[in-house]
Structure 1
């Protein structure tokens, strides 16, 4: 057998920098010469396709949902280039997974290991499922990408060119279709977190939606709904807690465990009263984007009171961001500068309030902290065991609705699925239209606007906002607005508290996509600009091809503007 280097130039530098002695066939993984001889070895290889580094959504801090004091990312500062580690890492990890999948498929098709055709088809379906996911992710970020379905020698790898993304997507849909046909609906072992028919349908719908193939997206989402194996968890606030990691709403997730070196540093998200730093916080943009309980944005609803911004809001607001003067992790949360002590529900006594600028300069710079999915386990060892939810049933419902809206195929099913998601937030049946702001309009423009606001409310803190901004082409609006927070302590008391303007001094304006405008308050000196977000629309809707790949392969072209 001719020997190939399977981790080819695509991702080569990751491997070289990770260890001094590059072992191309570690004993835990085998090689093509001594592996794939039995089902145990095949299962081990397939399990390697589900590594946490290969799956997951985008970062919240690339979006207008996020505040990190006075810091920006490469995306929100418009400094993205081909040497950014995230650009290199996504490319390398995706191609590592693709190459592993290709290797598995090649060996399954060319080896006689005595397994039934049904079992072989399922294993091959898992590899094609993983491969489709990786190529779809590459296309959504880079556009045209290097494409290969075979194991290739190193000299050929150095000469590969980019393939038109539409051609790549055709094979992505073919791979997903094969997975849909051959993967099981579920596994008997609840501990197994592997690809299923529903996951293949859901990811196909997402890939198609991101690529603007709305008919494909609609049909895939509809078929996923027709499986009737998923449903909305009845309590939105509890869905994301560690004990609900196996909820029937979750279609595909990656387990996270403190025992397995959790990748989440919890202290940055936790309030200072709970031993955290309150550095990674929800933005004012996110808080202002939640609709009121009458279904209207804050600048249109008579129910919105800027002095009590959590009152009369869609319930997902208070499930995602900690409301003021509410118990959180056993302590009252109150960032008001004159609230120098707060009640501790655990001890039954008052304690120094470290979550107010009145006591701590480094308390949350905008007064907000995350709540969604956070519980006492985060405090106990400053880590988290929540599963990383990659896709869930609410996304399938809203993808179906969005695709139908864009196709202008608006019927009762579109309104029904959107109302299912919204009614769940209010803990009522969708038919109980007097108990929540049910959606009734059939206007395409109005539904598009509602859908975009609904997605922001539903999926905050889940890594979906970035690609929504990119595919809707509204990143240039959302990410060219400054990020704001509270004035410094002396000014805050003088200009806001003493003039009875706490918390928001005015009502921000909201555009048709749910993007707030705080500029009027800023011009009056009532709020403080924390950062000056930047987004270069001439280039940033695509990422650059990693510079290392361009240097090693002269046949690779770079995306415009980089």
Structure 2
């Protein structure tokens, strides 16, 4: 704890070096007494703010879009506490970055004596405001009231600091984002760096306002971002997430990764996602809840559409379904993907021969427990470099801005054509057409608020699956209480039982169609009662988790820090 407090208070003593052209940062230390002696050192200090650790993404495993065999995360198990790794890391890392931003701001007067142009000083100041606002927005979204510090403090002062009500901090975060947007450039020229821009400041302000339920601020910030004219939807949804797609026109703010600099997704995450035939584990997979969520090509949910066939669940679905989850019988990573219990052999396209199928639990006990595996962003590059990859880490993209704008305007009940256009642009792109081609995709025409609210929430789920946004959506919509208190389902095991109870009776894949409630939550209990599916786990969300606990070690060392209720 003392180490963290010192980092917060004396951040000026812990500046970290970074590659000048890339924001991929090998660490080295410099003293604040002799730092900021050149423009290069100021840039190095700011670039440290783009380290991956400072930009956490909420995990799929905290949501109902995900299964990890028969295991739940601490959040889904309702056991989140002040010593949980994600809790302590987020608190510590955000405050490290805040300390660095505050230190940069405190040294801007020193920068003026170095002969740096005022325009550059304004830009650096704006960048520090952006970093500070972004870190506080993450803290407030998860912890609620937090310690709010905007200056470098001494140790004695730090031990007396308590939490500030988020209602007091939120306007100050908006103000920092506004200062950032006013001073940051639209684009950077002559540099490969991925750094904060005006669009990034407006976009992250819009997202933070959405999370806080400040609909007017969210609508205005997202509209301002749209009106910059800098961004548009990438032409092909599936290609946007590939490692080979860099700096797409849809990307508003991303962090680059690099195999050569050892900043990667991580081989463990890769192995957990890819299928077993090419050497993966297929352990962390999409849930049946997610598969059930995608609408059919008529725009209707699966329990209302005549196009849905529970025995062929990928047929006639929104194209994002088959781009997010690998369809059965499709070629994927050099093999046909088929989890059927009687598909004991499968085509290996690398050899042109049939081979043992390790993607069915009839052959491999630890193949996907529910038959589903991820496809989004995954291609053959995931099999290279020891099964490690370096796709851009997308923090926010233009599709999010369009749907933030639409949701905010819906909640304000200011529904006009611009709202429908924003949703339809995202949906039409999924179908590979322009939004005006309304005969080629299920265009949204509804204008009633409650119905549009349901539509935009579902659109977010289909568009952003496997991108780390579902968790905060469940939290802010207060749906975690429902979605994370039901059961996670999978295939019967052993394979002989699956054959006996399901496939021999023509019941593959799902024996019947689950009902979908008004919040998009599927009901599989009929199949469970019939003994046709297996319960993988019981989700056990605890409502106290709508706010995370303050890390235990912080509470123990500072009597002025009070814990959130229920912990």
TM range (shorter): over 0.9
Is 252-261 or 125-134 further displaced after alignment? 252-261
Q: Distance in 2 between matches of 1:513 and 1:440?
A: 20
Which of 269, 276, 283 is the aligned partner of 1:279? 283
- Greater mean alpha carbon deviation, residues 261-270 or residues 378-387: 261-270
Q: Does 1:334 align with 2:350?
A: no
Q: Distance in 1 between matches of 2:492 and 2:15?
A: 57
Structure 2: state its 5+ residue gaps: 18-27
Please tell me whether the aligned partners of residues 56 and 90 of structure 2 are also in contact (alpha carbons under 8 angstroms).
no
Distance 2:522 2:150 in 1: 45
Secondary structure at 1:494 match in 2: helix
Q: Contact between 1:401 and 1:417, CA under 8 Å: does it hold in 2? A: yes
Q: Structure 1 residues 368 and 25 mapped into 2: Cα distance closer, same or farther (>3 Å)?
A: closer
Q: 1:207 maps to what in 2?
A: 208
Matched, 1:82 2:82: yes
Equivalent of 1:490 in 471, 479, 496:
496
Whole-Å separation in 1 of the counterparts to 2:66 and 2:8 = 30
The CA distance in 2 between the partners of 1:97 and 1:551, in whole Å, is 23
Q: Shift of the alpha carbon at 1:31?
A: 2.3
Q: Which residue of 2 aligns with 1:432?
A: 437
Q: Is the 8 A contact 2:7 2:14 kept in 1?
A: no
Cα distance, 1:72 vs structure 2: 1.0
Q: Distance in 2 between matches of 1:316 and 1:11?
A: 43
Query: Residue 142 of structure 1 corresponds to which residue in structure 2?
Result: 143
Cα shift at 1:114: 1.5
Q: Is the 8 A contact 1:254 1:390 kept in 2?
A: yes
Which residue of structure 1 aligns with residue 20 of structure 2?
none
Deviation at 1:251, TM superposition (A): 0.7
Residues 227 and 211 of structure 1, relative CA distance in 2, 3 Å threshold:
same
Q: For residue 5 of structure 2, what is the aligned residue in structure 1?
A: 8
Corresponding residue of 1:246: 247
User: Counterparts of 1:320-469 in structure 2 under 5 Å?
Assistant: 320-380=324-384, 381-469=386-474
Q: Deviation of residue 30 (structure 1)?
A: 1.9
1:512 correspondence with 2:518: yes
Q: CA deviation at 1:109?
A: 3.0
Q: Which residue pairs with 1:268 in the alignment?
A: 272
Alpha-carbon deviation of 1:57?
2.0
- Deviation of 1:528 (Å): 0.4
SS of 2:244's equivalent?
Answer: helix
1:18 aligned partner: none
Whole-Å Cα distance in 1 between the matches of residues 190 and 211 of structure 2? 32
Question: How many equivalent residue pairs?
Answer: 548
CA RMSD across the alignment = 1.5
CA displacement 1:93-122 (0-9 Å, x = unmatched): 000000000000000134422112111010
SS in 1 for 2:199: helix
Would the alpha carbon gap of residues 83 and 6 (structure 1) be closer, same or farther in structure 2, given more than 3 Å must change?
closer
Contact 1:486/1:527 (CA < 8 Å) preserved in 2? yes
The 3 A distance-change label for structure 1 pair 332 and 190 is farther
Point out the more displaced range, 176-185 or 102-111: 102-111
- SS of residue paired to 2:93: helix
- Asked whether the equivalents of residues 239 and 247 of structure 1 are also in contact (C-alpha less than 8 Å), the reply is yes
* C-alpha deviation, 1:24, in angstroms: 5.2
Cα distance in 1, alignment partners of residues 503 and 276 from structure 2 = 22
Q: 1:289 aligns with which of 293, 313, 319?
A: 293
Paired position in structure 1 for 2:152: 151
Asked if the contact 2:291–2:321 (Cα under 8 Å) also holds between the matched residues in 1, the reply is yes
Query: CA shift at 1:190, angstroms?
Result: 5.3
Shift in Å, 1:263: 3.9
By how many angstroms is 1:493 displaced?
Answer: 0.4
Does residue 65 of structure 2 align to residue 65 of structure 1? yes
* Cα displacement (A) at 1:358: 1.7
2:194 equivalent in structure 1: 193
Structure 1 stretch displaced more, 60-69 or 260-269: 260-269
Report the TM-score when normalising by structure 1: 0.95
Deviations 1:150-186 (A, max 9, x none): 0000111111011010111111111100111110001
- Residue 395 of structure 1 deviates from its aligned partner by 0.1
The 8 Å contact of residues 397 and 417 in structure 1, kept in 2 or not, is answered as yes
Check 1:26–1:419 CA distance in 2 against 1; reply closer, same or farther (3 A cut). closer
Distance 1:26 1:453, change over 3 A: closer
**Hey, what's the Cα distance between the residues in 2 that align with 1:441 and 1:508?**
25
User: How far does the alpha carbon of each residue in 1:188-221 deviate from its partner, in whole angstroms, 9 at most, with x for none?
Assistant: 1352100000000100000100011110000000
2:356 and 2:53 map into 1 onto residues whose CA distance is: 41
What's the counterpart of residue 46 of structure 2?
A: 46
Please state how far the C-alpha of 1:25 moved relative to its aligned partner: 6.7
CA contact (8 A) 1:11 1:93 kept: no
Task: Note the residue ranges of structure 1 that are not aligned, 5 or more in a row.
Answer: 16-22
Match in the other structure for 2:318:
314
Q: Give the distance between the partners of 1:278 and 1:258, measured in 2 at CA.
A: 23
The residue aligned with 1:161 is 162
Paired with 2:190 and 2:391, the residues of 1 have a C-alpha distance of: 19
Aligned-partner Cα distance in 1 for 2:166–2:334: 51
- The TM-score with structure 2 as length reference comes to 0.95
* Distance in structure 2 (CA, Å) of the matches to 1:263 and 1:429: 33
3-state SS of 1:201 partner: helix
Aligned to 2:22: none
CA contact (8 A) 2:8 2:98 kept: no
Give the superposition deviation at 1:26: 7.3
CA contact (8 A) 1:6 1:152 kept: no
Q: Deviations over 1:370-425 (max 9, x none)?
A: 00001111112211111111100000000000000000000000000100000000
Q: 1:476 to 1:387 in 2, by over 3 A?
A: same
State the 1:9 CA deviation: 5.2
Structure 2 counterpart SS, 1:529: strand
CA distance in 2, matches of 1:415, 1:383: 40
Q: Equivalents in 2 of 1:397, 1:199: separation in Å?
A: 14
Distance in structure 2 (CA, Å) of the matches to 1:242 and 1:45: 28
Q: Paired residue for 2:564, among 534, 538, 559?
A: 559
Using the alignment, how far apart are the partners of 2:109 and 2:466 within structure 1?
41
Equivalent residues of 1:49, 1:100 under 8 A apart: yes
* 1:446-494 C-alpha deviation (Å, 9 max, x unpaired): 0000011100000000000000000000001100011000001121000
State the SS of the aligned residue for 2:277.
helix
Q: CA deviation at 1:364?
A: 0.5
